[in-house]
Chains A and B, each alone.
Chain A
Amino acid sequence: MAEVGEFLEARDLTRSFGGVHAVNSVSFSIAEGELHGLIGPNGAGKSTLFHLISGHFYPDRGSLVFDGHRVENKSPAARAKLGISITFQAVHLFDGMTVLENVMVGGHTWTKHEWIEASFRLPRCRREEQNIMEKAMWALTMVGLEQYKDHLAESLPLGRQRALQIARALCGMPKLLLLDEPASGLRGDERRELLSLLEKMHENALTMILIEHDVDFVTKVAERISVLDQGQVIAEGTPDEIRDDPAVISAYLGTAISHEVS
């Protein structure tokens, strides 16, 4: 069990769909500034766990404490305001809005002005709009998309759409960034760019959870890795420890064999 005061701490998280325990009594903890990998074969429960942390699913049982707050029953928007930002595997960009506008939506979490202030462009509205714009440009520069700021989001190729999602998350000034399979479907050079972006954000002390299917990719950047299989954490440790763990090998081999047989 993790100590009290961990940055993110899950205890006994459980979520079932029908009779299937997609996530079954999962506990883990993540320290501030850590880049934590979460891997597992297809159907291991990675995406369910991701959505339990993001707030798009609620757990049947268990608790999730983030930065001193109980969050397991909070809405995604409320969690975003506490500092949990996410990027989706299936890119959820805002079509019809420019790249810059997409990123600026990320500023929602730390700004306050609402309808009446916006209607008359009162001082707080102007000030916050200026701040959001600056932060968005910073985030775009961080991911290397600043020259595309006026393009429509949906016109970008997939690799840049992924980067745009990360920029949008960064504009929210998150304390924790959850990345759901950011490398899937990317080409070689796009993967390398993503890798160096992850390293750059890690150097800036951003806490990250990297959910990935691809062990090779995760072991290159993550400090510690949790392995999920059939809804449970079967191993946790440094990349080297994970590589040599017999339970991990058998989980992956088992999947691979059944994959070949079927």
Chain B
Amino acid sequence: MNAIIPNSLQSAALRTSYLDIENVWKAYGNFVALRDISLSIQQGEFICFLGPSGCGKTTLLRAIAGLDPQSRGSIRQAGRDISNLPASQRDYGIVFQSYALFPNLTVAANIAFGLENTGRPWDEIKSRVKELLELVGLPDKALSYPSQLSGGQQQRIALARAIAINPGLLLLDEPLSALDAKVRVHLRHEIKELQRKLQVTTIMVTHDQEEALAMADRIVVMNHGVIEQVGTPIDVYRHPASLFVANFIGETNRIKAHFSRGIVTIGRTLLETTVTGFADEADVTVAVRPEDILPHARGHEQLAQPNHLPVTITAMEFLGSFWRVHLRSTELGGTPLVANFSMNAVRRFSLAEGEDLTVELPADRVLVFPAAR
């Protein structure tokens, strides 16, 4: 598993933390948008704030940027307390969803905007603009106006403008949301590359879990103004800390179950799991991802083994590289189950709609949470 984790993270423990958010609250009148948020971000990390709209991720970003100060709590950047500093005295570059490029200035003038008026000689500004344009792959657009560029190109210019002054922190507020799907995938790769090259600490706000999984070193999953989980993409996907996280990141089947004397039961099926720590006789919810459900054998087995569930295939959808199979089981009552089966598995078991099947819910892939209300 270590091989997959970026190197930058393995050495994270050795580095000092760059941005420290401590007990931050934000209230708008009676509405509490952030409750007791604490978070440490390492130098050079790429962090994603992920969550549904209204979860507080943008509020947190704006507090870090000094645009909408937090109500309580403190924020430290590079050892400096910035809690009370106005935006102009903090050290960051920012890219908004709207790009916010100055429409009446050329691309070059947009990028140069933050460099001028700082005592830099003109030659230096010029070569810096050129360098940045090359960095974002648009060296020939210097004299164009923003409206003459495509959305993706505009976003790259906004990025170049944000990093022009070498900020210590790069803030990206849903930078890809306004783009179409193809451009989005392409650009997220580029942004990640750029960030790796510059080693600039980056925080990106997004509601797109795929984006977060693909780009982030660590993901901060938020909901209702609290942090649900902080972890690497693999962490939050494999070991979601809550049912919300399991649901929000990737897909998951939710099954009502019962926990009694260390054993989980679904209907009459016993489930071996790796979890402990529930009160005896508690209702629980079992979560299992579609790709983790394994086809075990055709037909229903007579002798029920732990973790094996008799099901019937109600529908099958062909999704190119795999099949999405809808299952129903008497053990589950009315709740349907969704599984992703590989092409090979479907062929091996000659699966078809209406067939009976026994599936396995592997013990190390089954997650158990307190019952969803």
Are A and B genuine complex partners? no
Q: Which B residues fall within an 8 A CB radius of A?
A: none
